[in-house]
Chain A
Amino acid sequence: MVKVVLSNEDKNSHLKIRDNGFKWGGEPPIETLYDKDAFLCDKYVKKESSLYLVNVFFECETGNYHTFCPISCVAWLYQKIEDSFFLVIGTKTCGYFLQNALGVMIFAEPRYAMAELEESDISAQLNDYKELKRLCLQIKQDRNPSVIVWIGTCTTEIIKMDLEGMAPRLEVEIGLPIVVARANGLDYAFTQGEDTVLAAMALASLKSKNHNQQLENHFNNNKTSKTSVSLLTEKIEDKPQPTEKSLVLFGSVPSTVATQLTLELKKEGIIVSGWLPSQRYQDLPIFNKDTLVCGINPFLSRTATTLMRRSKCTLICAPFPIGPDGTRVWIEKICAAFGTSPVINPLTGKTKLEEREFFIFQGLEEYLKLIRGKTVFFMGDNLLEISLARFLTRCGMIVYEVGIPYLDKRFQAAELALLEQTCKEMNVPMPRIVEKPDNYYQIQRIRELQPDLTITGMAHANPLEARGITTKWSVEFTFAQIHGFTNAREILELVTRPLRRNAMQNKTLLTRPE
């Protein structure tokens, strides 16, 4: 078994390999490291996180693990961005994955499609540009979206299709903005697909600002196409240029959840000036050096990097609003970034947030009863693992292992700190965090540990159940509404379902006469 011990000291030279042949098995190549100054962490977190990173060992197994392909992000993003069309440029394999993973969505005339690469495309007998133009014109005619998002796949990476080079030419020619995201499985896992799309949109926002003038010149030269591209320019003019610090949240959640989070912040007097992504592509927020940004999903590290380095925004380093505990700290961090402190209830002397957290936990008691003292094992799938582990620890569970396809220790620093703090407060050991786990070894560990619940990908659920291990699909947490105070119940509803089922069945069997 490969064990790689990581600590803060050897962060960059971290992957010291023991006994498999790989000299390198770390992160996907995020192009840059974080700009330290761009982090806005209060002292507490800085101290805690550095302490944390020294003290805690991470492992990187660099094993054979299974997650979904990152192109699956179109499943939720096309629904979120209502005027978009997602074009996945890949092979039959990609298409078959989408149709199997997204199941029946095809029947609802989804706003996504495959640009299926055929042999002639691979062998470069056809001109990519012409082919893509043909398809995009067809999409424009049939569906009339306000933006086409090209999702690059492993295949476009391997044949080195220059999507970024083609898009600017084509968007002028067809009069529709084109966003290029490389959601390929070579670099990313599952939910990171959303990260690539949001990062691309952040860049697009920046680009549209910079190229506004250029585009206008272009339109003046080609008056015929002016009307068709007018939306590109209108969008910019409509926006009030923010002068003071404004807050933009990034991460895709259903609009009801977005509203909930916006309202929670409003209670603390903080106005959310925009969301990335928003309901409509045309409402893409503007980013500049006065923009404070905060993520709501733990897998958005690339978006965070892009916003900091390219758009010069300031990132608020906070845990993620998953579970009432996470939500409270998340709001507190945002308050701190704006220089305000949370509203205090004069009657009790506690902050209203603390009271709300307490109240929510109280309401969850019927679920908590079921899971307190139980053990849980995350095999790792959707990168929500750390946040979920932290919340479940707070609920009284003991987390054995947190497998995670990729862990950006900077972006998740606050979350990791909160996890450690939670473990201390609940008096349970820190879970082992395994990056790029090896599913085979994990199964051996599950066999040894016999956890009460294993959160796993779909491929392992049935076999584990057959071996007496209670499982829950990790993918359900990707699609369920889990953010904010209100939705904590949803998480526990999912977590306890297998436990409740087993309890019911045992009861039925035990009370049966015989």
Chain B
Amino acid sequence: MKLAYWMYAGPAHIGTLRVASSFKNVHAIMHAPLGDDYFNVMRSMLERERDFTPVTASIVDRHVLARGSQEKVVENITRKNKEESPDLILLTPTCTSSILQEDLHNFVERSTLTLTSVVNNTDTSGEVMVKAKATRPGANSTFYPITTLLSKTKLGLNAQALSLESFIPFVNKGNKSKILLSTFAEGAKYTSGGSKMKKATTASLNAVVALAHGPKALTNDQKNKDLLFVHSDNNYTLSKTFDNSKQDHRTKQSGKKNEGTSSAPVLPREVGAPRVLDLFRPLLNLDVVKETTSIKPVDKFIENQQPDVILADVNHYRVNELQAADRTLEQIVRYYIEKAKKQNHLNITKTEKPSVNIIGIFTLGFHNQHDCRELKRLFNDLGIKINEIIPEGGNVHNLKNLPQAWFNFVPYREVGLMTAVYLKSEFDMPYISITPMGLVDTALCIRAIGNIITNILIEKKKDLLRNTIQNHFNNKAETKEGGSEGKNKADILLNLFNNYIDQQTRFVSQAAWFSRSIDCQNLTGKKVVVFGDATHSAAMTKILAREMGIRVSCAGTYCKHDADWFREQVSGFCDQILITDDHTIVGDTIKKLEPAAIFGTQMERHVGKRLDIPCGVISAPVHIQNFPLGYRPFLGYEGTNQIADLVYNSFNLGMEDHLLQIFGGHDSVQQDLDQTNIKNNLLNEGTTDNIVFMSKKNEFELWSSEGLAELNKVPGFVRGKVKRNTEKYALQNNIPLITVEIMYQAKEALST
């Protein structure tokens, strides 16, 4: 037994349910007592989900306990099949019901049998039944969101817009129609939402480059022409970008907001950013935008008239939420791959053009939706087709297509790595699990992608390689064509990737420039503490140390199962490594180190509030504040901007802090406020801290009047710290009275 107040990672079934509810048309049945089903609340509230969470609790109560749960579980599975006709029904127990040691495998088999017999019955009644079922868009009695209903009744667009207004009352006029359209597009997938969406968002020009580097970009234009050609089918030209660069910044922002609200799998193409490496674009017949929006026909009613039923196989007492999510995702993927193998449906031919699976984007993840969009943009820029994204928005029947991608991409190592490893061992698919967070790691990641693609091209796709090279250089590369050695070609290709990195780093991302700016200089050497999941904490530590010159006093993670990797990643970038899942240890460490800022989870944010230290939230677990409506990725080049903003805004006042130091501080805060500050500190420290306790008792005995007067000149937000440090110093050196001199002695002693 363990006395516990709070935990970083949740119980196993939460992870399982997060994976299950991320997939489209998958229903989870939770075998659990009343009250264990708060996952529905979490998802509905935090993700502001418009649809009912596809999780049903098959309630275990006293009567069920007495009778055994089989009947109830099987009944619920068959009922859900009737009501929602999902592709997959995933059964999961919770910590509580798993100790009942019921044969849930058997329940699953039973229900599969029941479902089969139902389907057989319908088969006898002929095709009509099946067809009727198929024509119904979804469940027989599903209660659609308004948007969908409207689209079905074929009201005019105006009418739709009018009734939709009630949903979004606070937007200004300019943006309204766009949001309407995107809302509409999201809700009503049956209309050609994608194209409208695109129309709405084409206005949102990413003018970052042009704004910041107008004159430079012009020369860049020249550069582009040297290296690559600008394709006429791209619906932008550089000149257009510059025209629009005058557009005010707010348009861009609002445009982005627009896109952020829609979680539909639509990739609005960012027009402004120079797509430096449109490597394979001319060869891709389909535009990526179309590719991702078009809903692949689900051949469920042809090949699969009954849902699959799986029992999530997780030990609820040994693994946490993240491990369980990883495990469940692998289990589902393995199930469908094996199934396809058995039915000889498995197609392992690689796609014609470079393609990728993104594994591990899922619901309730930290900024996952935003990151996903940024990743789509990144791959789009690189000319890499996205084969599948799982689990978020994925269709389980498309899982058999996973092996067709050239490689797998795991953005967060907590979830998805097991799947990638499985696919690697099964199909020898390479995978990348370098998180593209921060400029350095993003570059690293893109280079790794470049290597994989180059290798595959050289080994397997010689034709495509030749075409690519030809296509890119047909105007001028006669000479290069002659010496077509593999190595040479590889260099050319890798060079293209490097150029892309260079372009993005210098002109798209503002973070590199920020690192060089005078603003960032003021952050140099400030102490911070970083804590979070392994992925985000490690990446953040490296960004702060490498890219901003901030001193990371302590980097830590609660992913104890990933401790070795974490140590390896952050060693050399921080003074101290902390691996624990006990929030009190983290809190104590922060208190002891007194950093200028914290980057952590919701818990560290609250620790920071208590200690009056600012905190930027960089990792789950988070509260609803970290499910922003706007576009806030942490990955990719836009992510670097967001992170730089977060870091800069997290520090107390940023620039103002520095100015206060220069000019000695205005300190207009009243004395009584300072007193309350000090008092608060005293309260927080409690009586365990002898020094502080003493200072409370003997404030006027310990400090000389001049000393106190001097202390009051110190800016309010560091006064407590200075006071404590000075007192500590005095105590250690047996100094009975703190004078102004002693104060500065203490300061010197501490700074050496």
Interface residues of A (CB under 8 A from B): 20-22, 24-25, 28-29, 64-72, 89-97, 99-101, 103-104, 106-107, 110, 113-119, 121-122, 126, 128, 131-132, 134-135, 138-139, 153-155, 158-159, 184-190, 405, 440, 443-444, 447, 457-463, 466-468, 502, 505-506, 508-509, 512, 514
Contacts and interface: CB of A to CB of B under 8 A. Distances in A.
A99 B45 CA distance: 15
Contact of B38 (A101, A115, A121, A505): A101
Contacts of A104: 606
B99 interface: yes
A69 B3 contact: no
B606 A107 contact: yes
Interface stretch (B7-15, B264-272, B720-728): B7-15
B45 A66 contact: no
B20 interface: no
10 contacts: A91-B96, A92-B7, A93-B11, A96-B14, A100-B41, A121-B1, A138-B3, A158-B100, A186-B60, A459-B52
A106 B601 CA distance: 14
Interface stretch (B143-151, B215-223, B482-490, B591-599): B143-151
A423 B83 CA distance: 35
A25 B63 contact: yes
Q: Which 8 A-B pairs have the closest CB atoms?
A: A69-B35, A91-B95, A185-B33, A466-B50, A459-B40, A185-B35, A185-B34, A131-B1
A136 to B, nearest CB: 10
Contacts of B51: 463, 466
Interface of B: 1-7, 10-14, 33-38, 40-42, 44-45, 48-53, 56-63, 65, 71-72, 75-76, 83, 94-96, 99-100, 141, 143-146, 165-166, 169, 173, 316-318, 320, 606, 609-610, 623
B1 A66 contact: no
A126 B609 CA distance: 39
Contact of B166 (A184, A187, A505): A505
A97 B37 CA distance: 9
Contacts of B41: 66, 100, 457-459
B695 to A, nearest CB: 23
Contacts of A95: 4, 7
Nearest to A109: B5
A468 B146 contact: yes
A512 B162 CA distance: 12
Given A21-B71, A186-B33, 6 more contacts: A28-B61, A91-B94, A97-B36, A134-B1, A444-B141, A468-B146
Contacts of A509: 165-166, 169
A114 B4 contact: yes
A67 B2 contact: no
Contacts of A508: 169
Contacts of A188: 34
A66 B96 contact: no
A14 to B, nearest CB: 14
A71 B1 contact: no
Nearest to B47: A462
Contact of B7 (A21, A99, A514): A99
Contacts of B71: 21-22
Contacts of A66: 37, 40-41, 57
Contacts of A91: 11, 94-96, 316-317
Nearest to B11: A92
Given A135-B1, A443-B143, A93 B95 contact: yes
Contacts of B35: 67-72, 97, 185, 189-190
A461 B623 CA distance: 18
A502 B173 CA distance: 19
Contacts of A153: 96
Given A66-B37, A68-B38, A99 B6 contact: yes
Contact of A21 (B12, B52, B75, B94): B75
B354 to A, nearest CB: 38
Contact of A96 (B7, B60, B99): B7
Nearest to B1: A131
Contacts of A121: 1
A320 to B, nearest CB: 23
B623 to A, nearest CB: 8
Contacts of B14: 96
A118 B57 contact: no
B259 to A, nearest CB: 20
A69 B96 contact: no
A110 B44 CA distance: 27
A36 to B, nearest CB: 25
A154 B1 contact: no
B59 A64 contact: yes
Contacts of A134: 1
Given A24-B63, A121-B1, A100 B44 contact: no
Given A92-B11, A186-B61, A462-B44, A97 B146 contact: no
Contact of B34 (A25, A69, A119, A443): A69
A458 B317 CA distance: 28
Contacts of A443: 52, 143
A113 B4 CA distance: 6
Contacts of A118: 1-2, 317
A119 B317 CA distance: 6
A463 B56 contact: no
Given A22-B63, A460-B44, A116 B2 contact: yes
B11 A113 contact: no
A122 B99 contact: yes
B48 A462 contact: yes
Contacts of B33: 69, 154, 184-186
B476 to A, nearest CB: 54
A503 to B, nearest CB: 11
Contacts of B40: 66, 459
B318 A119 contact: yes
Contacts of B44: 458-463
Given A20-B75, A447-B143, A458-B41, A158 B99 contact: yes
Nearest to B169: A505
B145 to A, nearest CB: 4
B98 to A, nearest CB: 9
B281 to A, nearest CB: 38
B717 to A, nearest CB: 21
Determine which residue in B6, B609, B610 has the highest number of CB atoms from chain A within 10 A of its CB, and name it.
B6
B50 to A, nearest CB: 4
Nearest to A128: B1
A178 to B, nearest CB: 15
Nearest to A506: B166
Contacts of A135: 1, 3
Contacts of A90: 96
B626 to A, nearest CB: 14
B1 A444 contact: no
Contacts of B145: 463, 466-467
Contacts of A99: 6-7
